[in-house]
Amino acid sequence: MLQAYINDGGLRRTPIIVHAGYVARSKDWLEFSQEWQRILSMSPSIKYFKMDEAMNFAGEFSGFSEEGRNEKIVHLKDVIDRFAFSPLACCLPVADFETLIGQGRDIPERMREHYYYVFFGFIAQIIKHQKYVDVFTSIDWIFEEKVRQNEDIISGWEAFKQSAQTRGRLSTTPAFRDYKSVLPLQAADLLAWRVRSRWMEREAAVLPSPFPWDLTPHELPRLFVFEWNEYSLRQHVERARNTIGDVPKLKQSA
């Protein structure tokens, strides 16, 4: 059995919405969790890992020195490198979404929720690369528990299951767990934070964030990222309109 743990990093007030995580065999996740917990318990110990807290010396990282913070992150990253099978991410630029979708009153409600596009893009990227990762016949999807968003995730999942290319291949409904107690979700949080940071450095022209590590060279070609943009969003809505007949055409940009 394979399991995918997905997190959004908890940051929504940014130019980009990101969901990211890792896919690995369930037995590997058990070993991973033991090693992750060992690093959490290493002095100075923390109860859980949250990247935003680490970078802002808040929460569990309150009182840490920069050196101590960096050392903790590097050790946790080493655990990810040893155990994670495939890193995955999906990016949705907020401005493009709001311009084309978010304010579109004539677009069906289910297609005005950003989570639909994040989830669709993420799963589509898995399917595209399944010949490399061979994960889609038996996989459990676990997302961070966020009550307001759970129904949106399920809705996106069910809509995607009904599409012609995936019918009969996606059977397991996503589960939702507390990131503080489910350790693989903490690794997903770290990846989501870094993917978002790299996008902002590239697209929003912000200065590189002070960070004790980067994605390792061997990891880069295996990081399957689906990035929405204005063109792909427009094309997606048009395809949906042609398929289900209830999605009005989008007006062309001036």
- Residue at 173 is within a domain: yes
| Nearest-angstrom CA–CA distance, 193 and 20 | 9
Q: Which residue has the tokens 């590239």?
A: 202
Residue 107 lies in a domain: yes
231 burial via Cβ count (<10 Å: 0-12, 13-18, 19+): exposed
What separation, in Å, do the N-terminal and C-terminal C-alpha atoms of the chain show? 49
Query: What's CA 73's distance to the chain center, in Å?
Result: 19
- Helices then strands, counting H and E runs in the chain, come out as 9, 6
Percent of the chain with pLDDT over 90: 25
Q: pLDDT at residue 37 above 90?
A: yes
Helix (H) or strand (E) holding 227: strand 224-227
What is the Cα gyration radius of the chain?
Answer: 19
Its domain, for residue 83, covers 2-244
Residue 58 falls inside a structural domain: yes
Number of domains in the chain: 1
Beta-carbon contacts of residue 34 (< 8 Å; ≥ 6 apart)? none
The answer to whether position 253 is within a domain reads: no
The domain that holds 155 is classified in CATH as 3.30.420.10
Residue 251 maps to a domain: no
pLDDT digits (tens, 9 = 90+) for 196-242: 888 887 776 666 666 655 544 444 445 678 888 889 888 887 776 66
Distances in Å between the Cα of 180 and the Cα atoms of 8, 166, 185 are 14, 33, 8
Q: What are phi and psi of 218, to 5 degrees?
A: -70, -20
Q: Is residue 252 part of a domain?
A: no
| 179 has pLDDT over 70 | yes
In a domain, 28, yes or no: yes
Reference 122, options 5, 241, 246; nearest CA is: 5
What does the pLDDT read at residue 250? 41
Please, which pLDDT band fits residue 29 given cuts at 50, 70 and 90?
very high
**Quick one: pLDDT at residue 223?**
62
With 0.75 as the threshold, say if the pTM is over it. yes
- Ranges 5-19, 161-175, 210-224: which has the least confidence: 210-224
Query: Which residue type does 199 have?
Result: W
Give the separation between CA 254 and CA 88, rounded to whole angstroms. 34
Looking at the domain assignment, is residue 147 inside a domain?
Answer: yes
